[in-house]
Amino acid sequence: MAMSKTTKKKYLKALNRSLKKEAGKDFGSSFVFYPIGAKPKDATGVTASDAANPQELQVMEAVQARVYAEFSSTSVAA
């Protein structure tokens, strides 16, 4: 699914909001654009901000799957 710059920003914000809600505000990592440091228009994906352990990555993977499904269904409906 190709995303506009604005949609990419909203997607990243939704990922981090959902991650904080599920894992707590003290969770060690957050989602950032990939490649790390990329601007939204140049981003090709998202990744973890820090080296996350396997348990953290599992939580992040579940959050990303849910948020992506929500964004996919929204774009199909639009």
Tokens of 36: 């790390």
CB atoms within 10 A of CB 25: 7
Mean local confidence (pLDDT), 16-20: 97
pLDDT tens for each residue of 38-71: 999 999 999 999 888 999 999 999 999 999 999 8
Mean local confidence (pLDDT), 11-17: 97
Looking at residue 19, its pLDDT comes to 97
Where do the structural domains in the chain lie, given as residue ranges?
A: 5-75
- For residue 72, give the DSSP letter: H
pTM of the model: 0.88
